[in-house]
Amino acid sequence: MSICKLILSIGLAAAGLVQAFEPRSIDAVKASGPIKLDGVISESAWEKVPWQGDFTRLDGKPAVEPTRFKVLAGESGLYFAFEATDSSIKNEQKNHDGPIWFDDCIEIFILPEPEPAADSNIREYKHFMFNPSGVRYEQSIKGGVGNPAWNVPWKTAAVKTAKGFNAEVFIPYYALTPFSGTLTWRFNIGRENRGKVSELSIWSPADKFQDAEKFGVLKNIPTDLAAYMVSFFSSDIQMKSLNGKIFPAVGGILSGSDKINYTAQMAARTPDGKLAAFNSVNVTPLGGKAAVSIPLEIAESGKYLLTASVIGPKGRTLAYEEKTVTVRIASFEVKMIEPHYRNNIYLALPEPKLIVNVTQFSTLEEYKNAVLTVTVSDSSGKTVAEKRIKAPSKMEKVEFGADRFTPGAFKVRSALNGAGKNDGDFTLDFNVIAKPAKGNLITLDPERRVLLNGKPFFPSGFYGYSALPALRKAGFNILIHSHLNQADIDQILKKLDEVHRYGLMLAFPPRYKIRGDFFGFTENGKKVRTLSAGSYKKIETMVNAVKTHPAFFGWYLYDEPRGAEMTAELKRQYEFLRKTDPDHPVLGGDNTAGACIAKQGSCDIHVLDLYYCPRFNGKPDVPLASILAAVQNVRDTALHEAVWYMPQSFNHGSFYKQRFPSPTYAESRVMVFGAVAAGATGMVPYKIGQENCRYFERHANSGIFFSPE
């Protein structure tokens, strides 16, 4: 900024001529009667509430197709009514928590405080979305990081009209976790129009939906919100003895008023929605907090949806949490400590071992006459090793040397006998992998760090393929090539030879001559979401041709895929690669922590490409701390898989003129070292780009060379 402009800006501000941003504001109207959620908006209570409209696009211009809404404050939650003009409705997503942002949809952002936190790294709010069929998506946002695994029972009802679609929505107060009981909240409404009129529009003007500082104001909410300042976070599940039987007990901390006696409820439902178990306890949290343990008499092992609720005076639900867990009903538990990676014992690694921990849940008195037998058998059922332990202790660590095991599939069976009703057995599968005749063995250690032929290796490189001499000189060691699989095999091998000459390694997609995008693949000229047997044969041909090359690192299986069918197919491909090439890891890229977590079991290494995207106005798209929180979230949730980080190293302004500069050197340092501190075990910035690109030059292949530093 020139001195003249700076003086002019100061002068205008002093004179009061620079107008400060004022968010749009409305009063909450109390619902005068019941609301039937049917999308018709016919109740008399709605007639007392004015419509809110005048949505603007993110560039500040009026929306082409208007949206308007109303808000009512009920006794137990907020009601919204919507009318959306839509000349060409796009409405394809059918699954809860699916990518409905590819449809026409309406988004609701609610921050239950009068002002957002000054530090964007700790801001929290809730985000709700629905499409014209009423299909829902919700997530909890903290520091810019969304958690789509967060679920609450909010409701929608939508109907199509001659002009577009209408909808009614109910969001319970307990879903919003009020922080302080204040009666003034911040909120905003966004509209994604994906039909012929392609536009994003918003009620309280902003240049992005997630800008909490620009959220509108909802004043004078007519209810006692202080009552909802209650939380119950279930922390763990432990097997306990109840009435002579073993059942899981859910433990956690209930926080609330020490003057109120709450009822903490826990329910377990099967995947088809049937109630399997229910229990409750009364709790008065002395000092504001109380430890709670709720046994559930679940009869069978399996996957369950657990829902925790806190009920207060007058039977009101004040807090809610849900999670899906796998429960095994047994008197003891067996965990495999080694092997820790892919359930594979690699004979090429030093001192290969099989180690299992056996933990008893009943009293030691019940095991004094028992015998614990741990048996290892091969695929033919032949016993290759066995250990017997009399009167086993509460926890037994059982270890076998595996250097004499022959390659193949194995089972380890832990059987408890002589313990009466606690007798049982537990079987786990594992594989023994032969030493590769050629090429590298690349695995993960127990901390999910990369091992190259048994030695520590920190992957550091770029997405892209260029500037190999510069990369080598700077000390980098890896590249991800996004489309090398489209080349002929002899050309792929030549690229690997070139990479090897510079001391680098290379990862690329496994689908030989098969193109893919976010939603599927192109197979023989047709768009498909499931590959044929012929395509798997192509994959096998390329895998066998390159897996022994000394420069080959692993398979980059996917990049931001969307849709349940696509995700299921990628999991099939991952299992195929594990069997066809057990010596190299499978990588998968996605741009949010939630998307990575949703693809557990589809890769060995998650590559998180969450970009900082600084702006010239000083407000980045993603706070730096939220990037680090996202890395840690993936690491802490995907317990058997590694996470790498893909920081931004390109000029976003090449695609969005005058909105984005490149990250500075200081910002890049925070991203890289912060991600490592948060648990990232590899660093592959996007992207290397072209050496002849220069800073401020608009170029489709901008990369690290755009940086002025």
- The set of residues, in sequence order, having a beta carbon less than 8 Å from that of 488 and lying 6+ positions away, is none
Among 592, 587, 600, which residue's Cα sits nearest to residue 558? 587
Cis peptide before 687 (omega within 30 of 0): yes
- The structure tokens listed for 705 are 């060379």
Spatial distance between the Cα atoms of 474 and 259, rounded to a whole number of angstroms: 63
**Average pLDDT of the segment spanning 472-495:** 96
pLDDT number for residue 634: 93
Classified as helix, coil or strand, 229 is coil
pLDDT number for residue 300: 87
pLDDT above 80: residue 701: no
pLDDT number for residue 705: 61
Classified as helix, coil or strand, 537 is helix
pLDDT number for residue 484: 97
Spatial distance between the Cα atoms of 334 and 397, rounded to a whole number of angstroms: 10
Bridge partners (DSSP) of residue 305 are 269, 324
- The structure tokens listed for 437 are 């005749």
- The set of residues, in sequence order, having a beta carbon less than 8 Å from that of 553 and lying 6+ positions away, is 440, 442, 459, 478, 505, 506, 507, 584, 585
Spatial distance between the Cα atoms of 554 and 385, rounded to a whole number of angstroms: 34
Segments in 453-532 forming alpha helices (H): 468-474, 489-501
**How would residue 577 be classed by pLDDT, with cut points 50, 70 and 90?**
very high
- Tell me the pairing of strands 198-202 and 216-219: unpaired
Cα 71 → chain centroid: 31
**How would residue 121 be classed by pLDDT, with cut points 50, 70 and 90?**
confident
Spatial distance between the Cα atoms of 558 and 515, rounded to a whole number of angstroms: 11
Supply the mean pLDDT for the chain.
89
Q: pLDDT digit string (tens) for 212-237?
A: 999 999 999 988 888 898 988 766 77
**How would residue 423 be classed by pLDDT, with cut points 50, 70 and 90?**
confident
Sorted by where each starts, the structural domains of the chain and their CATH numbers stand as 24-226 (2.60.40.1190), 230-327 (2.60.40.10), 332-433 (2.60.40.2550), 450-706 (3.20.20.80)
**Average pLDDT of the segment spanning 410-420:** 91
Q: pLDDT digit string (tens) for 165-198?
A: 999 999 999 999 887 778 999 999 999 999 889 9
pLDDT above 70: residue 5: no
Indicate the DSSP class of residue 570.
Answer: H
Distances (CA, A) of 242 to 246, 247, 334, 646: 6, 7, 21, 49
Q: What is the dihedral of CA 245, 247, 251, 257, to 10 degrees?
A: -70
Region of 692 on the Ramachandran plot (φ > 0 left; ψ -120 to 50 alpha; else beta) = alpha
- The structure tokens listed for 54 are 């005048």
Strand order through the sheet with 231-242: 231-242, 245-255, 289-295
pLDDT above 50: residue 707: yes
**Average pLDDT of the segment spanning 606-633:** 85
Q: pLDDT digit string (tens) for 504-556?
A: 999 999 999 999 888 899 998 899 999 999 999 999 999 999 999 999 999 99
Catalogue the E-assigned strands of 5-120: 25-27, 29-30, 56-57, 67-73, 77-85, 105-111
pLDDT above 90: residue 367: no
Question: Residue 678: what residue type?
Answer: A
Helices and strands: H and E segment counts in the chain: 9, 42
Catalogue the E-assigned strands of 466-611: 478-480, 505-508, 515-516, 521-523, 526-528, 552-559, 586-590, 605-608
Spatial distance between the Cα atoms of 691 and 177, rounded to a whole number of angstroms: 50
